[in-house]
Chains A and B, each alone.
Chain A
């Protein structure tokens, strides 16, 4: 892992997983995907290396939003949909904090949808963990904005009649600079992605496809089951060929302006014909195509899909503006301001 380089103060001692374990009882259902995500956070935070006091978790409402209670950092469990603006306030007020948002598909895509696109547009340097189980869990099983068309749930007994959001498309549509996708059943990849998210300057969104054992069990079986996972997902890594498949013989290739799945050795295709992943390129075109891939014709893309440094962060611009205007201004304090402009003495 490459070192993280920014103004957040590093810990003088090497921290361990235990430094981030909270004294609270974890109350998620046994078998819930959230447990694995919590484990990954506890594992990656010591690697990130900041002082433990500099981490802040902010969440909204939902099963995933209980997260701050279960990790020993500064934490704020807020109200439905509003973790993003609260975290924006935290980061802008004190840019020397490492701010993490934990949210779900209801919290971020429905009630908090407006805030979600605006935090991304502003490129505030926070990290969003979007735990997507495609269902409302805490209210016991209603469909969410990411439930596939036709989903049978407690509020859609005859199947949903609305099209779901693909969070990756929203992130890129809002001019996002970082988007990654992980599986709760692959903690190694998840940890790797979280580190990259921390390293990125700007809003990072990590979507974790997460299983709800109670209300939507098996929602991702068609891609996560060990027997099919390698054929139905592709792990993208910077600078590497886009190869997947249990036999590592399939790949992605650009045909005209569209992606195409090809098999190495068939129709004269060699490894050289496959695309090389570049998450750092400013143009989001190919990132959008990768984020949108789904079965049965395409594998679901995992890993860091986009990590572009195409514009500065809001918090950096704010600090720069304050420094620049302060240097120029003759008004240094309230007494100066009160006496500025038109005044007269009696």
Chain B
């Protein structure tokens, strides 16, 4: 494996802040046109990784190449060719929507006329043409996010970095953002995103790594990861309020032979099996009466639970 034909290539990449090691040696290889994801809970080291890749955070160890360039040497050159959509909106609150895009485009050394044309097209793309003259403060959260995405596209980046692109958005706004990102993906833009939402990872990424405590614990396509680390279906069972201590723990022991695997969560039991309905039926046969049952497909959430023993969002 070489660094030259990868968009992003890292080996043994580390990042430390004083005594805290946020990233503890990860290998990453993102290819052109790929939609690549970092999935993990808060504090897994995703954002630290993204900042290193964005060439604004010096690496503490290992090797990192972005577009074949070394961020320690070629920071400005790298940043000229990538797009960054940070977790926290860093829009210029003292400027209008249009000015935000125009000035940002100019920071890339693009000619005025060119930037003006791109601003119009991007406003159209993120459906903010009507808001062009508004101040940023007057936009909703979803609009701000879309503006940030438009801004990150002004230099026609070869790689687009998205750090938690829909965190903090309401469900409808999330879907609008997803739709735009999906279009970009279809156009062949290389996307690299971090998320702690498994549905986001499933919808948008071709391939992802699961991060936990600064390390990569699994890698593959969403479907492969699910097939490899989980069963086809999951039966979620909820029993009544605990009468005598750990009801769920007690029940878990009574049903553990009915499923490939049983997980105990604070509020419910997860029974992993090929056929969820059949599993639920067997539970009833044992004379157990859950208050609520739900049978669903396995998701990346289950993969994460399996690999780390913890849930993604807590």
Whether A and B are associated in the same complex: the answer reads no
Show the binding face of A for B, using Cβ within 8 Å.
Answer: none
Show the binding face of B for A, using Cβ within 8 Å.
Answer: none
